[in-house]
Structure formats: C-alpha cells, structure tokens
C-alpha cells in the first residue's frame, strides 16, 4: 500500500550521533521535519544537532534503560508540534568473535542495545502512534538479520530477533493506521566496525582492530547519506521491509535460493569486491 509522507512531519531517531541515524536526521530536517534525536554519545549528538535545520529536540539516552526511554517518550509527546510521523529505533553496536571464544558480557552488551533497545523504543513510543492511529515504527535490523555469517553470532542473533519482533508487531497492527517496518542495511560506511568489541582476531591472523575495520570498510557499498535516502524512499512508498544497498539484495536472494550454502557464494562475491577495490586504490 502507498505510504503516508513523513516529509515535514515530526520524527524520533535513536543512534543519531553518527552513521545512518545522523544521515536520517539531516535528510528529514532538510525536508522540514521537526526532529527528536537521541544517543548515548553526547558529543556526537551535539554535532548532529548543529547540522540540522528547524526544530530539534536532543536527548542523551541509553536505549538499554527502559524506564528512561519511556521518560524520553513522554518528553517527545510534550514537545510534538504535530502528530509523530515515524519512530526510528536505530541505535546499534557490534561484537566480533567466534562462538568458541565469545565473552558472555560482550554478547549481553550487544543484545541489550541491538534487541532490547529496539523493544524499549517500540514499547515506549507505540502508544503515541496508536493513539494517533497513524505513523510508523521503523526498526533497524541488518543483512545479518537475513543470513548468518561467521564471527557475528551475537549480532546475527539480535538482528534476526529484531526482524521477528517487528514482523510479529506488523501483524498485530493490521487494520490500524500504524505501520511496522524493518530496515536491512548492507555494508554501510559507518563507525560500527571501529567501535566494535573485539577481544582478539577471530580468524587467528593477528590483525589489529584498525586492520579489521579497514577490511570491513573496503567492502562497504553504501554511504550513510545514500542509506538514508533509500530508507526515506521506502517509507514514502509504503514498504514493510527496506533493503539498503546492493549487497542487501544479494544476501536476501542467496539466503532464499541456497538457504544452507549461501555463505560460500557471498564470500566469493565479497572477495571479488575487495580485490577490485584494491586495484582502484
């Protein structure tokens, strides 16, 4: 079904201090939307706010704290200059580890942010949208919520959970004016790899954090600004699931075609992309 335009209407975005969250805030602000932005990174949040136009509400927020997320939802409700158009539960972190060497504390840290942070944001803001009978809950999953990849077991588990949670919510909202949308970004050029928790090189190659981050960035195909444009366009078109980047379409297709052998094909494609990027440097 066609979407209701969010341009010029209020939105809330978590994880807005950098990456996709910042790019979404910038795009929607340029389109005239009042923007409420939140992140645990206060300095990054201030940088985002300074780049925006018009009405802005900023809040330092740890999405793991359900009570504080609900308090923030109340602040947003009181701040709203018009009905809330969309809630972007976008905050996320990464852990790189083999299952054998995984540290439970790292997995719990990721799970609390990437999954429970989405749940907290959904539960806090959904009553506002339901009372309006309009708007969209937009939850960021990942291509790793479409297919499992090595050394990302905790991340995949959380992103698959976001997908399942949002899919279930979508069915509960049938017949209402509220939408539930999943976003599946592929490789986006953000700081997520550089900020990931890594205890040691999971492949045993002795790589530093910087080297592993550089290898990830070498195969990213989409900038945050481009990702924001794709997400915005998908919402405007009423999409329930938004794939971001050519690699997202690759993951989605191969996981359907070869559900138990897709990674062999994906690894070959990524190796080719990395080699071609080196040739152009």
| Pair type for strands 35-39 and 178-185 | unpaired
Identify whether the C-beta of residue 158 lies closer than 8 Å to the C-beta of residue 111.
Answer: yes
For the question of residue 262 being annotated catalytic, the response is no
Long-range contacts of 108-116 (CB under 8 A, 24+ apart): 109/197, 110/154, 110/155, 110/158, 110/197, 111/154, 111/157, 111/158, 112/64, 113/63, 113/64, 114/155, 114/158, 114/159, 114/162, 115/158, 115/161, 115/162, 115/165, 116/63, 116/64, 116/66
**Residue 175 three-state SS:** coil
Residues 155, 249, 262, 263: which is the catalytic one?
Answer: 155
State the DSSP string of 20-40.
Answer: HHHHHHHHHHHTT--EEEEES
**How deeply is 182 buried, as exposed, middle or buried, from its count of CB atoms within 10 A (0-12, 13-18, 19+)?**
buried
Which positions are catalytic? 155
């Amino acid at each position: 079904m066609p979407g209701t335009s969010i341009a010029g209407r209020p939105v809330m975005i978590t994880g807005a201090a950098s990456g996709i969250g910042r790019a979404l805030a910038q795009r929607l602000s340029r389109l005239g939307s009042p923007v409420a932005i939140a992140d645990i990174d206060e300095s990054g949040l201030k940088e985002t706010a300074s780049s925006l136009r018009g009405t802005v509400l900023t809040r330092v927020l740890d999405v793991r704290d359900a009570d504080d997320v609900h308090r923030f939802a109340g602040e947003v409700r009181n701040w709203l200059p018009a009905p809330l158009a969309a809630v972007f539960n976008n905050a996320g972190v990464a852990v790189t580890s083999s299952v054998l060497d995984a540290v439970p504390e790292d997995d719990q840290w990721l799970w609390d942010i990437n999954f429970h942070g989405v749940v907290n944001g959904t539960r806090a803001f959904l009553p506002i949208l339901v009372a309006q009978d309009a708007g969209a809950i937009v939850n960021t999953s990942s291509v790793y919520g479409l297919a499992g990849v090595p050394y990302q077991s905790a991340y995949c588990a959380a992103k698959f959970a976001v997908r399942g949670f949002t899919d279930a919510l979508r069915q509960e909202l049938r017949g209402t004016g509220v939408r539930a949308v999943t976003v599946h970004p592929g490789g986006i050029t953000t700081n997520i790899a550089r900020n990931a928790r890594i205890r040691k090189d999971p492949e045993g190659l002795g790589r530093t954090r910087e080297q592993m981050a550089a290898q990830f960035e070498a195969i990213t195909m989409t900038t945050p600004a481009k990702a924001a444009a794709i997400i915005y366009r998908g919402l405007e078109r009423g999409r329930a699931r938004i794939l971001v980047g050519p690699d997202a379409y690759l993951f989605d297709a191969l996981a359907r075609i070869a559900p138990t052998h897709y990674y062999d094909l994906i690894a070959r494609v990524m190796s080719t992309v990395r080699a071609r990027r080196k040739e152009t440097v």
